[in-house]
Structure 1
Amino acid sequence: MLVVAAAFFLFLLIGVPVVFVLGASAVLALVTTTDVPVAIVSQRVFSGLNSFTLMAIPFFVFAGVIMDAGGISRRIVDFASALIGWVVGSLYQVSCVAAAGLAAISGSGSADTAAISAIMQPQLRRRGYDVDFGAALIACSGSIAQVIPPSLTMVILAVISNVSIGGLFLAGVLPGLLCILVLMVIAYFTARKGGPVYRDAEPFTLPRLGRAAWKALPAAGMPVVILGGILGGVFTPTEAAAVSGFYGLLIGAFVYRDLKLSSLPNLVLRTASLSAAVMLIIGTASVFSWLIANANVPELLGNWIQSVSTSKVMFLIIANVLFLFVGMFMETIAAILIMVPVLLPISAQMGVDPLHFSLVVILNCAIGTVTPPYGVSLFVSSSVAGRSVMQVARRLGLPLAAMFLMLILVTFVPGISLFLPHLFGFAG
């Protein structure tokens, strides 16, 4: 098994795509350490994907693609600008607020980051803002899409953890909004030190806010439909995902009229491509997770953690360290599918609420998407800004500190994540 572990990390370090890392490592483990036939791989892939809830993924992806093509992103940014554009460092503030708004629609950190970057980076450059700090701030704000519902990461984690998707969606609302708020505070004080260029804000006027709100209202209806439908028992999370895609199509094509029906085949192909990539990772990671369980790794790790401490606090500290380390080198979905089956039984033994533990995992994953060397949101933001990853990473300190602060608060103050789920009757 040591050879397999060494091969696994070697493949990651040399930049092999994570889906091939998981598949190759699984086959290598089967051949060298067990008598199980390699045919089990296809069976485990099918088993890992054989879930009705996972059908939500392509629908949420489609909703995100529609959002990008249908002019929804621009309306959200315009509303954020009218709402908060009068504050010092206005473009930074708008980036944060717009990221929260798009997060409630797209469900994808990388899609959120790409959309905000494409709209805001030209404005940051034109008005003389620090583009590197702006890219770092947008990467962190965009990654919060994993925490704010509806989130693809939450859907996958809920399936693995066997917790309510509606409950997990609610658990992410307060931490996600608080994290955006802390990022806005950091942006404010950074801008105050930056000179007069950051004070070139537009005055706040109610008529402008009203016009922007009216235009953004149809887009804002999407998260209301999704969360309201799930919490009201109108439809399941999978059905909610399908409704969100159809809703996005309607407002993009017939309300905003930025979406041409002739472009629909290309959007469907893009959705299929993105969904297939996610599903392939889930399938291969399920094989790898099965091998880990078959090698008694959860039991061995559980015994070690219990030998170190029997307290929930110590377990959560260890879990955070493990997830932060893994998140630096591995794609979010793969990290969840490999680590959660190992740590979830231990968290149950320690008496950690499943919804609380799941939200801690989600926050770790969000941080993982902005930390080198495998920070997807960092890559996207840097690329759109036309800057190198290292140039943006140098300005990542304060925004990343805000995310670590929220991770610490959510870890040790469970009420932040559990207040809304318990209020709506969701138990862990």
Structure 2
Amino acid sequence: MTLLAVTFFVLMILGLPIAFAIGIAGFTFFATGPMPPSIGVQQVASASQSFPLLAVPFFVLAGHMMNRTGITSRLIACSSVLVSWMAGGLAQVCIVLSTLMGGVSGSAVADAAMEARILGPGLIARGYSRGFTAAVIAVSSLITATIPPSLGLILYGFVGNVSIGRLFLAGIVPGLLMMAFLMVTAWLIARRRGYGAEAKAPPSLADVRRAVADAKWALLFPLALLFAIRGGLFTPSEVGAFAVVYAAVVGFLLHRELTWKRLTEALTEAVVDTGMIMLIILFSGMVGYAIIFEQAPQSVAAALTALTEEPVLVVALILVFLFVAGLFVESTVLVLLLTPIFLPIVQPLGVDGVHFGILMMTVVTLGSMTPPVGVAMYTVCSLLDCPVEEYVVESLPFVGAVVALIVVLTLWPGLVLFIPNALM
């Protein structure tokens, strides 16, 4: 087990792509361990034989198609009408847009990159500092980790055998609360620095009605997914196919902005993204088998319970570990590798797997917004030409707001579970 971990981290430090670092580390374990390498190959193959995994390529394709249907511009307009009258108006638009885009793209990095290209230059031109602009865009993209359809929640449900439908429903309240926490933080900073509102007064009811009506197909998308799953019309995998059909209907027939050229571009990008994600998933299946074979969950459980058997404290210790790990390892990898370790530890203590999944996804995805290897952080900073040092300082209040929310959700699981419990 030590050889596997050392090989993985050495290869990652050397700059090898994450998927190949996992794969080589896994094959090293089987080549030098008590089991023949053919077992490792079998685990790679068996990881691909999963019906729930069909949701991944479908939702990835749907997200790329949605971004080419004019939905983004309509969501920006809707967000501007709703919150641009507040202090730090454009920053508030970024946060609300992340919430709305989370129901479309399913990817925090894709959301952050899009907002950095479209809204970032406007914020800087209006006097917002580059660090503040980058921090608002990067950290608010974290909302995508919980708002359905989150790709991370799909992978967590697949690995942990947890209901993806319940996970989708459970992500609604935490996502909205995260939006509220970040908006309050942005408002306080904007008031202190004099970042003004874009609109002179709150919108009238007629303005809100027009903005919502113009963006109705984007706003209805996550609701349609949830109702389809709750109503038993589709499984989570089938609802991914429905998402692709929905995007095509909106793009070709309703907005009439999805051309064949744009569709080809969406397909090409979806193939690249899906290939990368699936490689990580397949090789992680092999490493996951090795982790279970070496009884790592039992060893970690024994170490934690030796410290305390209080469920809240055990969860808190795990979340601290996940946060530190998220600083160095990409969130998808952590979900695939660590869910089989930690979920069997917390469930016997009475912690709901859905509740733990929301906490886990939020914490590990936060690593994408923090140094030293934050993908969303580097993406936004490079697009906005922002020094990482400035970003780190400006992001501290927003990261603090997210940590405060995680504490609240940990102590009051009912905030996460009352919607799935009520509807499912």
Instruction: Quickly name the TM-score band, shorter chain normalised.
Output: over 0.9
Q: How does 1:25-424 map to 2 (within 5 A)?
A: 25-32=25-32, 34-195=33-194, 197-206=195-204, 207-424=206-423
Superposed CA offset, 1:210-247 (max 9, x none):
33222101211211211111111111111111111111
Displacement of 1:42: 2.5
Count of paired positions: 423
Displacement of 1:347: 0.9
Equivalent position amino acid for 2:89 in 1: S
Preserved CA contact (<8 Å) 1:144 1:366: no
| Alignment CA distance shift 1:221-1:200 (3 Å) | closer
Taking the aligned partners of 1:200 and 1:84, their CA distance within structure 2 comes to 9
Superposed CA offset, 1:97-137 (max 9, x none):
11101111111111221222222112112212122112111
Superposed CA offset, 1:117-174 (max 9, x none):
2221121122121221121111111121011111111111111121111111111111
Displacement of 1:420: 0.9
| Alignment CA distance shift 1:289-1:234 (3 Å) | same
> What residue ranges of structure 2 are gaps of 5+ in the alignment?
none
SS at match of 1:374: coil
Preserved CA contact (<8 Å) 1:12 1:329: no
Superposed CA offset, 1:326-367 (max 9, x none):
111111111011111011111122121111111111111221
Displacement of 1:322: 1.6
Taking the aligned partners of 2:130 and 2:256, their CA distance within structure 1 comes to 32
Preserved CA contact (<8 Å) 2:131 2:391: yes
TM-score by length of 1: 0.95
TM-score by length of 2: 0.96
Equivalent position amino acid for 1:329 in 2: F
Taking the aligned partners of 2:129 and 2:237, their CA distance within structure 1 comes to 41
Equivalent position amino acid for 1:399 in 2: F
Preserved CA contact (<8 Å) 1:225 1:244: no
SS at match of 2:103: helix
Runs of 4+ in structure 1 displaced over 6 angstroms? Answer: none
Preserved CA contact (<8 Å) 2:131 2:387: no
Displacement of 1:374: 2.0
Preserved CA contact (<8 Å) 1:88 1:201: no
After superposing the two structures, state which structure 1 stretch, 238-247 or 9-18, moved more: 9-18
> What residue ranges of structure 1 are gaps of 5+ in the alignment?
none
Displacement of 1:200: 4.5
Preserved CA contact (<8 Å) 1:89 1:201: no
Preserved CA contact (<8 Å) 2:142 2:362: no
Displacement of 1:388: 3.4
Percent pairwise identity: 32
| Alignment CA distance shift 1:329-1:97 (3 Å) | same
Equivalent position amino acid for 1:39 in 2: S
Superposed CA offset, 1:378-422 (max 9, x none):
122222222233332221100101111111111111111111111
Preserved CA contact (<8 Å) 1:107 1:146: yes
SS at match of 1:114: helix
SS at match of 1:86: coil
Taking the aligned partners of 2:234 and 2:111, their CA distance within structure 1 comes to 26
Preserved CA contact (<8 Å) 1:328 1:374: yes
Equivalent position amino acid for 2:314 in 1: F
Does 2:7 match 1:7?
A: yes
Preserved CA contact (<8 Å) 1:332 1:369: yes
Taking the aligned partners of 1:96 and 1:264, their CA distance within structure 2 comes to 28
Equivalent position amino acid for 2:15 in 1: G
Displacement of 1:202: 4.3
Taking the aligned partners of 2:417 and 2:273, their CA distance within structure 1 comes to 32
- Cα RMSD of the aligned pairs, angstroms, is 1.5
